[in-house]
Structure 1
Amino acid sequence: MEDEKEMTDEQRTTITDFINSVYGKPVVFGERDCNLTVMFIIDVMTGSNYYSTMKGTYTTIEEGIAKAKDLIGMTPSAFMKKHFNKTDSLEDGVITSSIKKNKTTNVYHTGVYFSGVILVADENNIFTTVHPIDTEYQDLWRVK
């Protein structure tokens, strides 16, 4: 298993700024959504450019899955498995996930744990933060 990355102060600041930039705003697929949030975390932690590659290229979940296959060479679920290890501990930058059915496709619904709360899209599709005991998730993922 690959070593998991520890977060630097600069990475913490960048992620905090990102969370503040989406907090209270509506989900807009391809502009501000859970998939892009996960890609942003990976980019900050690894120096990749998934977020900028994908941002603005889709407007629905289905288009996002297709564009991910086309532009980054993998589906969002394959992306998660490539860049994250499952973990049992909530630490800054850990991704919470649950899998839900969207029409005929299983879709990851994700949040980002940071500073004691999880950034999630609420029932009105507005980004908000919740305490971990106040939201449901199936798995925790930490950047490899």
Structure 2
Amino acid sequence: MKNLHNEIMNIIQYAIDNPYQFGDNDCNIIVLRIIDLINGTTTLSDRQYTSVQEGIAGLKAEGWNHTGKIVEQYCYPVQVVIDGDIWLDPDNPLLMAVVVSGRVLGVNENHDGFELHPKPTKGTFYRVRKHNG
């Protein structure tokens, strides 16, 4: 039996240990991997793109305006966060992060990797729920 928390930490550790790369190690893919993990799927995070524009085009082809819409579909808002919860930026639907140890995993200043940041005070936090259908 898998330990869900350990699996969430594996996704977070992969993000920290590897360079930022669209379609493999970017904030959208990390969030989609968390959703897939909890739902026992791979379909949301199995994406091929090398730029923001390609990523958005792929989402739109599936009927999504942006990854935040997937989060809203597969998650519910929460006030008290735990590891693996997802934060959506209130001003930019392309920015999101994953909660870990009371902070969030976000992109570094050079935009070439991930680091832990203080938990934002604006925006909405979501918890993945099992999706039916």
- The answer to whether the superposition gives a TM-score over 0.5 is yes
Residues 87 and 121 from structure 1, CA distance in 2 versus in 1: closer, same or farther, beyond 3 angstroms?
A: same
Q: Matched residue of 2:58: which SS?
A: helix
Q: CA deviation at 1:138?
A: 1.1
Q: Which residue of 2 aligns with 1:141?
A: 126
Structure having the larger proportion of residues in strand: 1
Residues 24 and 128 from structure 1, CA distance in 2 versus in 1: closer, same or farther, beyond 3 angstroms?
A: farther
Q: Which residue of 1 aligns with 2:38?
A: 45
Q: 81, 84, 92: which one pairs with 2:83?
A: 92
Q: Give the TM-score, by structure 1 length.
A: 0.76
Q: Deviations over 1:15-47 (max 9, x none)?
A: 111211121543211111011011100011111
Structure 2 stretches lacking a partner, 5+ long: none
CA RMSD of aligned residues (A): 2.1
Whole-angstrom CA distance in 2 between matches of 1:118 and 1:32? 15
Q: Which residue of 1 aligns with 2:12?
A: 19
Q: 47, 57, 64: which one pairs with 1:74?
A: 64
Structure 1 stretches lacking a partner, 5+ long: 1-7, 101-105
Q: Give the TM-score, by structure 2 length.
A: 0.82
Q: CA deviation at 1:130?
A: 2.2
Whole-angstrom CA distance in 1 between matches of 2:110 and 2:122? 18
Paired positions, count:
126
Q: Percent same amino acid among aligned pairs?
A: 27
Q: Which runs of 4+ in 1 moved over 6 A?
A: none
